[in-house]
Structure 1
Amino acid sequence: MDGFEFLLAYEMLSEELKKETQIFMLSSTLDPNDITRAKKNKYVKTLLSKPLPIKKFGEMIYPHCSL
């Protein structure tokens, strides 16, 4: 299952399950169509590129903590 297949399956879940979830998509794609598709998806908070600096990711998911 790739990320887009996951998003299709995720969309089928109840709103109750999805309400507290944030999706950060991690990809190595350079395809502009994939990038646009991910950025336009209402469930994807952020599209991140590989390699992922772990400190940057930590700051995104814990914005009020100093890591």
Structure 2
Amino acid sequence: MHKEGEIAEGYQALKIGFKWVNDLRDNFIDELPLLNSLYNIVFNHCNPVEELKEFVQRMKKKFKSF
């Protein structure tokens, strides 16, 4: 691990994950809709029932296009 530049186990994965999340910032709702819904419920104090309805509608649209 040390030869490859890892300081601790998983360090490289964290570096890759950080870059991925940073690149994902613009498409967060499209790429991670469930996480976005949970974020809205917990941190934005959205109504869970309404957020679930919106999530289902987003999933219907997404899978309709396949």
- Normalization by structure 1: what TM-score? 0.28
Greater strand share, 1 or 2?
1
- Relative contact order, CA 8 A, sep 6+: which one is greater? 1
Greater helix share, 1 or 2?
2
- Normalization by structure 2: what TM-score? 0.28
Structure whose alpha-carbon radius of gyration is higher: 2
